[in-house]
Amino acid sequence: MNKEIKLKGCSAEDMKEILPDNLILLGYRGSLAHGMYLEPDKPESVDDKDLMGVCMGPRECYLGLEVFEQKEKQLREWDSVTYELRKYVRLLENGNPNVLPLLWLKESLYIYRDAWGHLLINKRDLFVSKRIYHSFVGYAYGQIKKMEHANFQGYMGSKRKALVEKFGYDCKNAAHAIRLLRMGIEFLKEGEFHVFRDDAPQLMEIKTGKWTLDQVKKEADHQFKRIESAYDECKLPKTPDRKKINELVMDMTWSWLNSSKLEKPCQHEK
């Protein structure tokens, strides 16, 4: 584990448990990235501290038969997922709304970046296309469905269930849905993600139960219509340039395998 990476309240042992080796990029995701995190002492707080990272796999994954795609770990309030480069890029290429924002974070929200991590961010325009419409709309519909049929798991499961019983719907899913739709609209119009939300105060009203279920549904219907119009008017490429993306991954992997960080391959026994 890189000694530069530190998280408040986490020991070296915790860090090793949460994160894999060979990280190239690590940042906050979820409520911390959006400026919508509620501290645990707040009555409506059901937030984890979410992390997302990208790493290079073990040498054996590229030169041998081993397979490594991702590492997920929950430890107390921390919820971390780290993807191996190729898995992460496949998700980017498909317009996955959970992974794309990592390349558009505010500077202060990156925890660690090495040269390969910086390169990935610098090449983020390779993944700009209209394809995000389908994934963002699909995820937003999923959040709307969960809003009334919640699944209470994880660090804040019991508290979240109590809030659903209080307000009559899952406010956090509702805020997710509205945010996803607005982010998708902005991206289709500008080719940029605004991860840290200027509309956070209003989204926080939804998240903390200040809106009725009818208000949320009305706003969601409005945003679904807006994103459909944004898609029809969008000037972005229909799909990402797969050839250039493939070249980027090949260059990064080749550079990684030839870096001084890796030991020479073992000698085959005769």
Of the listed ranges 25-29, 73-77, 137-141, 195-199, the least confidently predicted one is 73-77
pLDDT tens for each residue of 187-232: 999 999 999 999 999 999 999 999 999 999 999 999 999 999 999 9
Question: Tokens representing 67?
Answer: 């397979």
Sorted by where each begins, the domain ranges of the chain are: 17-127+241-257, 132-233
Highest mean pLDDT among 20-24, 44-48, 258-262: 20-24
Class of domain 17-127+241-257: alpha beta
Question: Tokens representing 252?
Answer: 């990064």
pLDDT tens for each residue of 160-171: 778 888 888 999
pLDDT tens for each residue of 85-126: 999 999 999 999 999 999 999 999 999 999 999 999 999 999
pTM: 0.87
User: At residue 259, does pLDDT exceed 90?
Assistant: no
